[in-house]
Amino acid sequence: MYLCPMKPLILITNDDGYRAGGIRALIETALPFGEVLVVAPAEGQSGMSHAMTVKTPLRLEKRSAAPDCVQYVCTGTPVDCVKIALNRLVDRPPSLLLAGINHGSNSSASVLYSGTMAAAMEGCMSHIPGIGFSLSDHAPNADFSPYLEQVGNIIRKVLQHGLRKGTCLNVNIPKIPVSDMKGTRICRQARGYWREEFERRTDPNQREYFWLTGEFYNEEPDAEDTDEWALSRHYISIVPVQIDMTCYDSMKSLKRIFEK
């Protein structure tokens, strides 16, 4: 196998596609920490969440190979990329799974839709520590370089200390000058939702179609322990996310209702 067992193995994917600037920046940042295996979608897969390809074949193409970095392109979703990497491309579990850097925030309720975070959570299912990185800049030509030192620091600390089993990190970086950055803050996910609208439009053939638009509504703008608050105050927000979605606080009352 092409991977040296003496170095940590880092698996990288994203949901913006292998051409995206964010994944190029993440690869550059991860390389000093070990050997890097990249398996990224052939096309953008934003908003795919934990979707998998089950009705069409997956195709995998090796794009490049170097002593410390091998890169593949996969025709599937971010979760497909993680699954096929773990099933067909590695001979040992990766020490770390990195997803991103996403073009745009994945704070609050956006975590539910994010292909970036779904990839990190897929790693959790195989007991692989994972980090999803996002920058609050949707531009295709977003400049990630000012923030790579902070990204590298987070990678180093997770490699040193690990994460609780079944947990990954949702890291969001505000688009501000680095000189204005106040540091990192461990947060909870803000309660909020997207107010969605579907604009009615007409194509050149006079056929009607709809385009998704909307804005995010923060239900608790004054709460000082949320990711939205941290980002608005110039902090990098770090939210620990778990794959166990059980609402334990509801179990006692529900037992009284249903277990009669």
CATH number for position 158: 3.40.1210.10
Full domain range(s) for residue 53: 9-190+223-245
Residue 112 lies in a domain: yes
pLDDT per position as a tens digit, 178-198: 999 999 999 999 998 888 788
Residue 28 lies in a domain: yes
Residue 204 lies in a domain: no
**What's the whole-number average pLDDT of the chain?**
92
Q: Number of folded domains in the chain? A: 1
The answer to whether the beta carbons of residues 65 and 40 sit under 8 Å apart is: no
Two tokens at 116? 């970036």
pLDDT per position as a tens digit, 242-258: 999 999 999 999 999 99
Provide the 3-class DSSP secondary structure of residue 143: coil
Residue 22 lies in a domain: yes
* Separation between Cα atoms, residue 64 and residue 250, nearest integer Å: 50
Q: Is the pLDDT of residue 90 over 90?
A: yes
Contacts of 52 (CB under 8 A, 6+ apart): 76, 77, 79, 80, 83
Residue type, 54: V
Provide the 3-class DSSP secondary structure of residue 150: helix
Q: Is the pLDDT of residue 229 over 60?
A: yes
Residue 99 lies in a domain: yes
Residue 213 lies in a domain: no
Residue 197 lies in a domain: no
CA 81 to chain centre: 13
